Amino acid sequence: MPSPHDTLLAPSILAGDHANLRSSLKVIEDAGLEWVHLDIMDGHFVPNLSFGPQTVKAMRPDSKLFFDVHLMLDNPQLYIDAFLDAGADQITIHIEPNYPVAETLGYIKSKGCKCGVVLKPDTPAEDAKKFLPACDIVLLMTVEPGFGGQNFRQDVLPKIEQFDTWRAEMSLNYRLEIDGGVDLEIAPLCTARGADTIVAGTAFFKAADPSVFIAAVTA
Protein backbone atom coordinates (compact mmCIF):
# COMPACT_ATOMS: atom_id res chain seq x y z
CA MET A 1 0.00 0.00 0.00
CA PRO A 2 1.46 3.44 -0.79
CA SER A 3 2.67 5.31 2.27
CA PRO A 4 0.89 8.56 3.32
CA HIS A 5 4.35 10.15 3.35
CA ASP A 6 6.69 11.26 0.58
CA THR A 7 9.65 8.92 0.32
CA LEU A 8 12.89 10.33 1.67
CA LEU A 9 16.48 9.19 1.94
CA ALA A 10 18.31 9.46 5.27
CA PRO A 11 22.03 8.88 4.70
CA SER A 12 23.76 7.16 7.61
CA ILE A 13 26.82 9.18 8.54
CA LEU A 14 28.34 5.99 9.99
CA ALA A 15 29.59 5.50 6.40
CA GLY A 16 30.86 9.09 6.27
CA ASP A 17 34.32 10.54 6.99
CA HIS A 18 34.81 10.11 10.75
CA ALA A 19 37.85 12.37 10.62
CA ASN A 20 35.70 15.14 9.19
CA LEU A 21 31.99 14.57 9.82
CA ARG A 22 31.28 18.19 8.93
CA SER A 23 32.31 17.40 5.35
CA SER A 24 29.97 14.40 5.29
CA LEU A 25 27.08 16.57 6.46
CA LYS A 26 27.90 18.92 3.58
CA VAL A 27 27.78 16.04 1.07
CA ILE A 28 24.24 15.29 2.29
CA GLU A 29 23.18 18.95 2.17
CA ASP A 30 24.76 19.53 -1.24
CA ALA A 31 22.73 16.55 -2.50
CA GLY A 32 19.61 18.46 -1.50
CA LEU A 33 18.58 15.99 1.21
CA GLU A 34 16.90 16.91 4.48
CA TRP A 35 17.69 14.07 6.92
CA VAL A 36 20.88 12.58 8.35
CA HIS A 37 20.75 9.24 10.17
CA LEU A 38 23.03 9.17 13.23
CA ASP A 39 23.95 5.69 14.46
CA ILE A 40 24.81 5.66 18.15
CA MET A 41 26.42 2.43 19.40
CA ASP A 42 27.43 1.46 22.97
CA GLY A 43 29.56 -1.65 22.41
CA HIS A 44 27.10 -3.64 24.58
CA PHE A 45 23.77 -3.84 22.75
CA VAL A 46 25.81 -4.01 19.54
CA PRO A 47 29.46 -5.16 19.19
CA ASN A 48 30.70 -1.78 17.99
CA LEU A 49 31.23 1.79 19.17
CA SER A 50 30.43 4.80 17.00
CA PHE A 51 30.08 8.27 18.56
CA GLY A 52 28.11 9.98 21.34
CA PRO A 53 26.09 13.10 22.22
CA GLN A 54 29.16 15.36 22.30
CA THR A 55 29.83 14.59 18.63
CA VAL A 56 26.19 15.15 17.71
CA LYS A 57 26.22 18.46 19.62
CA ALA A 58 29.34 19.53 17.73
CA MET A 59 27.63 18.86 14.38
CA ARG A 60 24.38 20.62 15.32
CA PRO A 61 25.26 24.33 14.87
CA ASP A 62 26.57 23.86 11.32
CA SER A 63 23.66 21.84 10.01
CA LYS A 64 20.01 22.40 9.30
CA LEU A 65 19.50 18.71 8.55
CA PHE A 66 16.90 16.73 10.48
CA PHE A 67 18.95 14.70 13.01
CA ASP A 68 17.46 11.19 12.98
CA VAL A 69 19.18 9.60 15.99
CA HIS A 70 19.17 5.78 16.14
CA LEU A 71 20.12 4.62 19.66
CA MET A 72 21.65 1.15 19.66
CA LEU A 73 22.06 1.14 23.45
CA ASP A 74 21.19 -1.30 26.24
CA ASN A 75 19.73 1.53 28.33
CA PRO A 76 18.64 4.30 25.95
CA GLN A 77 16.44 5.85 28.67
CA LEU A 78 19.64 7.01 30.43
CA TYR A 79 20.78 9.05 27.41
CA ILE A 80 17.63 10.78 26.15
CA ASP A 81 18.40 14.12 27.84
CA ALA A 82 21.96 14.05 26.46
CA PHE A 83 20.73 13.60 22.88
CA LEU A 84 17.94 16.13 23.30
CA ASP A 85 20.55 18.62 24.53
CA ALA A 86 22.74 17.65 21.56
CA GLY A 87 19.98 18.70 19.16
CA ALA A 88 18.28 15.46 18.10
CA ASP A 89 15.12 16.05 16.05
CA GLN A 90 14.03 12.43 16.39
CA ILE A 91 15.16 9.57 18.64
CA THR A 92 14.49 5.93 17.88
CA ILE A 93 14.94 3.25 20.54
CA HIS A 94 15.22 -0.54 20.25
CA ILE A 95 12.52 -2.66 21.93
CA GLU A 96 14.78 -5.68 22.61
CA PRO A 97 16.59 -4.54 25.79
CA ASN A 98 14.74 -4.68 29.14
CA TYR A 99 13.82 -1.08 30.06
CA PRO A 100 10.60 1.00 30.14
CA VAL A 101 10.07 1.45 26.38
CA ALA A 102 6.62 3.11 26.54
CA GLU A 103 7.67 5.53 29.25
CA THR A 104 10.81 6.43 27.30
CA LEU A 105 8.79 7.11 24.14
CA GLY A 106 6.46 9.32 26.20
CA TYR A 107 9.38 11.22 27.70
CA ILE A 108 10.97 11.89 24.29
CA LYS A 109 7.65 13.15 22.97
CA SER A 110 7.04 15.30 26.08
CA LYS A 111 10.23 17.17 25.23
CA GLY A 112 8.95 18.04 21.73
CA CYS A 113 11.17 15.52 19.95
CA LYS A 114 9.85 12.92 17.50
CA CYS A 115 10.15 9.31 18.65
CA GLY A 116 9.91 5.76 17.43
CA VAL A 117 10.79 2.13 18.00
CA VAL A 118 13.40 -0.01 16.27
CA LEU A 119 13.27 -3.77 15.64
CA LYS A 120 16.21 -6.03 14.85
CA PRO A 121 15.66 -8.37 11.89
CA ASP A 122 14.66 -11.37 14.06
CA THR A 123 12.35 -9.42 16.40
CA PRO A 124 8.70 -10.30 15.67
CA ALA A 125 6.50 -7.44 14.48
CA GLU A 126 3.95 -8.32 17.19
CA ASP A 127 6.46 -7.29 19.87
CA ALA A 128 6.15 -3.66 18.74
CA LYS A 129 2.40 -3.42 18.06
CA LYS A 130 1.47 -1.98 21.48
CA PHE A 131 3.91 0.91 21.05
CA LEU A 132 2.67 2.03 17.63
CA PRO A 133 0.15 4.70 18.74
CA ALA A 134 3.02 6.55 20.44
CA CYS A 135 5.34 6.43 17.42
CA ASP A 136 6.15 9.06 14.82
CA ILE A 137 8.29 6.45 13.05
CA VAL A 138 8.99 2.71 13.05
CA LEU A 139 12.53 1.67 12.11
CA LEU A 140 12.98 -1.86 10.78
CA MET A 141 16.55 -3.15 10.73
CA THR A 142 17.34 -5.16 7.63
CA VAL A 143 20.78 -6.09 8.91
CA GLU A 144 21.96 -7.13 12.38
CA PRO A 145 22.74 -3.72 13.96
CA GLY A 146 26.34 -2.73 14.63
CA PHE A 147 27.99 -2.26 11.28
CA GLY A 148 27.38 -0.65 7.91
CA GLY A 149 28.13 -2.42 4.63
CA GLN A 150 26.24 -5.64 5.39
CA ASN A 151 23.88 -7.47 3.02
CA PHE A 152 20.16 -6.70 3.08
CA ARG A 153 18.00 -9.41 4.67
CA GLN A 154 15.13 -10.14 2.26
CA ASP A 155 13.33 -12.12 5.01
CA VAL A 156 12.42 -8.78 6.62
CA LEU A 157 10.32 -7.72 3.58
CA PRO A 158 7.07 -9.26 4.95
CA LYS A 159 7.58 -7.30 8.17
CA ILE A 160 7.54 -4.06 6.18
CA GLU A 161 4.15 -5.06 4.76
CA GLN A 162 2.89 -5.93 8.24
CA PHE A 163 3.67 -2.46 9.65
CA ASP A 164 2.23 -0.85 6.53
CA THR A 165 -0.99 -2.83 7.06
CA TRP A 166 -1.18 -1.95 10.75
CA ARG A 167 -0.62 1.75 9.93
CA ALA A 168 -3.73 1.71 7.75
CA GLU A 169 -5.82 -0.61 9.97
CA MET A 170 -5.08 1.40 13.13
CA SER A 171 -5.40 4.77 11.32
CA LEU A 172 -1.89 5.71 12.41
CA ASN A 173 0.53 7.96 10.59
CA TYR A 174 4.02 6.79 11.52
CA ARG A 175 6.81 6.85 8.98
CA LEU A 176 8.17 3.42 8.04
CA GLU A 177 11.98 3.49 7.96
CA ILE A 178 14.26 0.76 6.61
CA ASP A 179 17.87 0.53 7.72
CA GLY A 180 20.69 -1.69 6.59
CA GLY A 181 22.09 -2.88 3.28
CA VAL A 182 19.75 -0.79 1.14
CA ASP A 183 20.99 0.05 -2.34
CA LEU A 184 19.60 1.03 -5.75
CA GLU A 185 18.01 -2.36 -6.39
CA ILE A 186 16.75 -2.97 -2.85
CA ALA A 187 15.07 0.40 -2.20
CA PRO A 188 12.11 -0.20 -4.58
CA LEU A 189 11.41 -3.57 -2.90
CA CYS A 190 10.93 -1.67 0.35
CA THR A 191 8.93 1.31 -0.93
CA ALA A 192 6.63 -1.02 -2.87
CA ARG A 193 5.71 -2.55 0.52
CA GLY A 194 4.96 0.78 2.20
CA ALA A 195 8.38 1.96 3.41
CA ASP A 196 8.82 5.72 2.99
CA THR A 197 12.09 6.46 4.81
CA ILE A 198 15.23 4.80 3.52
CA VAL A 199 18.48 4.76 5.46
CA ALA A 200 21.60 4.23 3.38
CA GLY A 201 25.20 4.51 4.45
CA THR A 202 27.45 2.64 2.05
CA ALA A 203 25.17 2.99 -0.99
CA PHE A 204 25.05 6.76 -0.52
CA PHE A 205 28.57 7.72 0.53
CA LYS A 206 30.27 5.22 -1.77
CA ALA A 207 28.04 6.05 -4.74
CA ALA A 208 29.87 7.47 -7.77
CA ASP A 209 26.93 9.81 -8.28
CA PRO A 210 24.61 10.08 -5.24
CA SER A 211 21.99 11.86 -7.35
CA VAL A 212 21.35 8.62 -9.27
CA PHE A 213 20.74 6.76 -6.00
CA ILE A 214 18.57 9.57 -4.64
CA ALA A 215 16.43 9.62 -7.79
CA ALA A 216 15.93 5.85 -7.60
CA VAL A 217 14.97 5.93 -3.91
CA THR A 218 12.62 8.90 -4.02
CA ALA A 219 11.02 8.09 -7.41
Q: Which spans of this chain sit near ligand DX5 (rule: CB under 6 A)?
A: 12, 14-15, 37, 39, 70, 143, 145-150, 179-182, 199-203
Stretch that binds Zn ion, among 34-42, 80-88, 99-107, 189-197 (CB under 5 A): 34-42
Smallest distance from ligand DX5 to CB 148, Å:
3
Q: What is the 3-state secondary structure (H, E, C) of 106-150?
A: HHHHHCCCEEEEEECCCCCHHHHHHHHHHCCEEEEECCCCCCCCC
Comparing CB distances to ligand DX5, the nearer of 42 and 172 is 42
DSSP-based helix, strand, coil % in the chain, nearest 5: 40, 20, 40
70 binds Zn ion (CB under 5 A): yes
| Choice among 68, 136, 179, 196 that is catalytic | 179
39 is catalytic: yes
Comparing CB distances to Zn ion, the nearer of 59 and 169 is 59
Smallest distance from Zn ion to CB 131, Å:
18
The tally of CA atoms less than 13 A away on the side-chain side of residue 101 is 23
Q: What angle do CA 32, 58, 26 make, to 5 degrees?
A: 20
Distances (CA, A) of 29 to 58, 81, 203: 17, 27, 16
| Choice among 39, 68, 183, 196 that is catalytic | 39
196 binds Zn ion (CB under 5 A): no
Q: Is 70 in a helix, a strand, or coil?
A: strand
Comparing CB distances to ligand DX5, the nearer of 51 and 172 is 51
179 is catalytic: yes
Smallest distance from Zn ion to CB 12, Å:
6
Comparing CB distances to Zn ion, the nearer of 77 and 92 is 92
> Is 153:121 a contact under the CB 8 Å cutoff?
yes
Which helix H or strand E contains 158, and what residues bound it? helix 157-169
Which one of ligand DX5, Zn ion, none is in contact with 165 (Cβ closer than 5 to 8 A by kind)?
A: none
Q: Whole-angstrom distance between the N-terminal and C-terminal Cα of the chain?
A: 16
Catalytic residue positions? 39, 179
